[in-house]
């Protein structure tokens, strides 16, 4: 089975982890600090905190921004953690419809702003940046915080600027299937010292060290720390991430060429001002195939293609049904149409050719 995404671990990655396993410190040591410094320098950002998941990083960002009791405008087309962590902070998610590329529609945000709105959370679907400049301007005009859930887009760029420096807070995921991995893991990136300091306390019990054994706790916190061996893996992966992206870009461009103007489905074009991490390669079935999507999905699995659907929109999940006043047509159409096909750094162009052929053959028989 060729999965829609896969990690790539080489000997250097494995050795980096083994070295830490043989050392004295398994947690709270220099690997974590070095990983944070190297991430900050790769991204050109002031402050980076690594977490044991993007979910805990999201939680901490929302908590540091004090979003409890406020409304937060976000995308329905994300992994559920983006919205779950709002609920866990007692914030109210307000879902804004998306565009045909799966990203929040920057032109529909303003009409959802109320006196209770305090933040916007955008998601870089499939690794393609949102129109961040326009959204950032809007956030500034209404004094809202902009949080970018960039779990898909590590290493991506918008108009030549790295994702991670374009919002008030950016979140990355290092889950195994994301653009680079620490097994489980995530990062919070910000230029705000205040957000950084608050999130750092939330990450580790709220404990402020004083002298010797003396410490104090003024606000409670969690244990959201990343282990030393996971950090060491992250440092090693960071050296390879640009190669990963380049390989996924090759695969994606090959698909773009083969699938150009085929009668069955469309793909996601990436405009020149955006560098996508190509975390996912989504295809969008033409409407007449929507009814057959289940059987298409099952047949692709049978043919060894580990396809997936990203995502069932959050507002259609039972927990979230009460948070939507009117249907979100674009998100719902997107859900009918979308399938993610294999695109990852372990694939060769030959693998991509086989996968494309397999997919087109299947549609030919429908
Ligand atoms: C994967 C993902 C998350 C959660 O990341 P974890 O590291 O697994 O907690 C959050 N948001 C989006 C958009 C994701 O894709």
Q: Check whether residue 355 and residue 304 sit in a common domain.
A: yes
Verify whether ligand 1 is closer than 6 Å to residue 79 (CB atom): yes
Strands (E), the chain: 2-3, 47-51, 71-74, 92-95, 117-123, 145-149, 157-158, 161-162, 169-173, 186-190, 207-209, 215-217, 265-267, 274-275, 281-285, 305-306, 338-341
Nearest to 156 by CA among 266, 270, 25, 250: 270
The sheet that has 71-74: what strands, in order across it? 47-51, 186-190, 169-173, 145-149, 117-123, 71-74, 92-95
Domain boundary among 238, 271, 289: 238
Task: Say how many Å lie between the CA of residue 263 and the centre of ligand 1.
Answer: 33
CB 133 within 8 A of CB 163: no
Distance CA 244, CA 292 (A): 33
Verify whether ligand 1 is closer than 6 Å to residue 175 (CB atom): yes
Q: Check whether residue 29 and residue 138 sit in a common domain.
A: yes
Q: Check whether residue 148 and residue 73 sit in a common domain.
A: yes
Q: Check whether residue 227 and residue 315 sit in a common domain.
A: no
CB 190 within 8 A of CB 165: no
Verify whether ligand 1 is closer than 6 Å to residue 103 (CB atom): no
Domain boundary among 238, 267, 297: 238
Q: Check whether residue 50 and residue 155 sit in a common domain.
A: yes
Q: How many CB atoms lie within 10 A of CB 305?
A: 21
Pairing relationship of beta strands 265-267 and 281-285 according to DSSP bridges: antiparallel
Q: Check whether residue 245 and residue 170 sit in a common domain.
A: no
Domain boundary among 199, 223, 238: 238
> What's 5's DSSP letter?
S
> The domain spanning residue 147 has which CATH number?
3.40.640.10
Ligand 1 atom nearest to CA at 174 = 7
Segment-wise mean pLDDT, segments of 10 residues, the chain, 366 residues: 96 98 97 98 98 98 98 98 98 98 98 98 98 98 98 98 98 98 98 98 96 95 98 98 98 98 97 98 98 98 97 98 94 98 98 98 96
Q: Check whether residue 267 and residue 210 sit in a common domain.
A: no
Q: Check whether residue 53 and residue 201 sit in a common domain.
A: yes
What does the pLDDT read at residue 326? Answer: 87
Domain count, the chain: 2
Q: Check whether residue 225 and residue 251 sit in a common domain.
A: no
Q: Check whether residue 165 and residue 266 sit in a common domain.
A: no
What does the pLDDT read at residue 325? Answer: 84
Residue 58 tokens, joined: 């999201």
Verify whether ligand 1 is closer than 6 Å to residue 247 (CB atom): no
Task: Say how many Å lie between the CA of residue 133 and the centre of ligand 1.
Answer: 23
Q: Check whether residue 212 and residue 313 sit in a common domain.
A: no
What does the pLDDT read at residue 185? Answer: 98
> The domain spanning residue 296 has which CATH number?
3.90.1150.10
Structural domain containing residue 290: 241-364
What does the pLDDT read at residue 180? Answer: 98
Nearest to 187 by CA among 64, 82, 36, 66: 36
Residue 289 tokens, joined: 């195939």
Q: Check whether residue 74 and residue 200 sit in a common domain.
A: yes
Residue 80 tokens, joined: 């559920």
Distance CA 362, CA 302 (A): 11
Q: Whose CA is nearest to atom 6 of ligand 1?
A: 54
């Amino acid at each position: 089975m060729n999965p829609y995404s896969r990690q790539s671990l080489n000997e250097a990655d494995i050795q980096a982890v083994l070295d830490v396993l043989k050392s004295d410190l398994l947690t709270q040591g220099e690997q974590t600090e070095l990983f944070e410094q190297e991430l900050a320098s790769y991204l050109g950002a002031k402050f980076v905190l690594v977490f044991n998941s993007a979910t805990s990083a999201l939680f901490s960002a929302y908590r540091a921004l004090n979003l409890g009791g406020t409304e937060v405008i976000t995308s329905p087309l994300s992994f559920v953690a983006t919205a779950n962590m709002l609920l866990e902070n007692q914030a109210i998610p307000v879902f804004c419809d998306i565009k045909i590329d799966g990203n929040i529609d920057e032109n529909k945000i303003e009409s959802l702003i109320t006196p209770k709105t305090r933040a916007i959370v955008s998601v870089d679907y499939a690794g393609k940046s949102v129109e961040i400049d326009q959204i950032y301007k809007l956030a500034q005009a209404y004094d809202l915080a902009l949080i970018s859930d960039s779990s898909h887009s590590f290493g991506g760029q918008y108009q030549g600027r790295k994702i991670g420096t374009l919002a008030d807070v950016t979140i990355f995921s290092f889950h195994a299937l994301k653009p680079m991995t620490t097994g489980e893991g995530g990062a919070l990136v910000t230029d705000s010292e205040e957000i950084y300091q608050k999130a750092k306390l939330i990450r580790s019990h709220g404990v402020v060290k004083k002298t010797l054994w003396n410490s104090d706790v003024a606000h409670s916190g969690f244990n959201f720390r990343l282990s030393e061996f996971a950090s060491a893996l992250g440092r090693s992966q960071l050296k390879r991430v640009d190669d990963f992206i380049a390989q996924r870009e090759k695969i994606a461009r090959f698909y773009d060429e083969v699938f150009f103007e085929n009668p069955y489905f469309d793909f996601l074009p990436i405009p020149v001002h955006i560098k996508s991490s190509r975390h996912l390669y989504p295809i969008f079935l033409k409407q007449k195939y929507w009814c057959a999507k289940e059987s298409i999905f099952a047949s692709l699995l049978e043919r060894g293609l580990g396809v997936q659907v990203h995502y069932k929109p959050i507002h259609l999940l039972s927990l979230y049904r009460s948070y939507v006043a009117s249907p979100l047509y674009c998100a719902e159409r997107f859900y009918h149409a979308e399938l993610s096909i294999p695109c990852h750094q372990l694939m060769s162009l030959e693998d991509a050719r086989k996968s494309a052929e397999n997919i087109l053959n299947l549609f030919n028989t429908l």
